[in-house]
Amino acid sequence: MLKQRVITACILALLSLWVVLKLPPSGFGAVVAAIMLLGAWEWAPLAGLPGIRDRLLYVGLILALILASWPLTDAPAFVGGVLLLTAAAWCGAGFWLWRFAADPERHDSPWLVGLAGLAALVPPWIAMMALRNQYSPGHVLFLLLLIWGADVGAYFAGRRWGRRKLALNISPGKTWEGVAGAGAMTLVLALMGAAVLGFGSRWLGWVAICLIVIGFSIVGDLFESMLKRQSGIKDSGSLLPGHGGILDRIDSLTAAAPIFLLGLYALPA
């Protein structure tokens, strides 16, 4: 299983490099939108919409919101407003996780889960587009490397030292030692990123942003795990060998991307 995961991860990493660095903004936006639409296809059953017609309608709603937002991704006021609302929504997701951890037998309203999907899939697309357009492809690439690096750090630290469960009723495999591993890898990558991306005297704020981003990425990961547990499924899909579905790969990014860009907006010039 590990070999399969590594092979799939390497292929995805190479494709991501090409998409971020080689495609024009319109092509980049189209690819990221396609990924979010695949995520919407997998999210629909979590919201009680297993039928093909209902899933297509849900995907169509996500697509409509993305297309409506596309012309506004260069407007900092619009993007900033979306990011603030999204940050508040992810803070609410933290409370949602706490409530479920205390009562793992509860099942939330499909309508509520469906609305959560809108907040989890459209804002990250807006954030990725704005990050590339308003900053640089290098910032997008760093965000991806940050998430992947933290994931690797958490995986190996958790396997080697993991003892204390992070959220037993939500994702039994995750441990606080894994979180520490993710934090250590984040610190290393943040310091490297500060040098490469030229943050200079602002490096301390930049490192703080990266650590906060990874904290939210863990919330995104746990949130999808919670919804899968409520639905009684292990993976959101089977598109990616060794990884499951698209949502299983982008769950961290859905929370991390908006928080990352919001942090850059807040970082003093």
Neighbours of 98 (CB within 10 A): 11
Token pair for 90: 């992810």
pTM of the model: 0.94
Neighbours of 143 (CB within 10 A): 25
Burial of 112 (0-12, 13-18, 19+ CB in 10 A): exposed
What are phi and psi for residue 48, nearest 5 degrees? 75, 30
For 69-81, the pLDDT digits (tens) are 999 999 999 999 9
Q: Where are the domains of the chain?
A: 2-266
> CA separation (Å) from 154 to 55, 99, 218, 249?
33, 24, 10, 15
Enter the DSSP assignment of 241: T
Which residues partner with 244 through β-bridges?
Answer: 240
Residue 243, pLDDT above cutoff 60: no
- Per-residue burial over 168-204, b if 16 or more Cβ lie within 10 Å, else e, is eebbeebbbbbbbbbbebbeebbeebbeeeebeeeee
Which range, of 8-12, 101-105, 158-162, 194-198, averages the lowest pLDDT?
Answer: 8-12
Give residue 197's pLDDT band: very low, low, confident or very high (50, 70, 90): very high
Give residue 2's pLDDT band: very low, low, confident or very high (50, 70, 90): low
3-state secondary structure of 268: coil
Higher-pLDDT residue of 49, 240: 49
CB 63 within 8 Å of CB 130: no
CB 184 within 8 Å of CB 157: yes
- Total number of residues shown for the chain: 269
Residue 182, pLDDT above cutoff 70: yes
Place of tokens 């958490």: 154
The closest alpha carbon to 69, from 61, 77, 78, belongs to 78
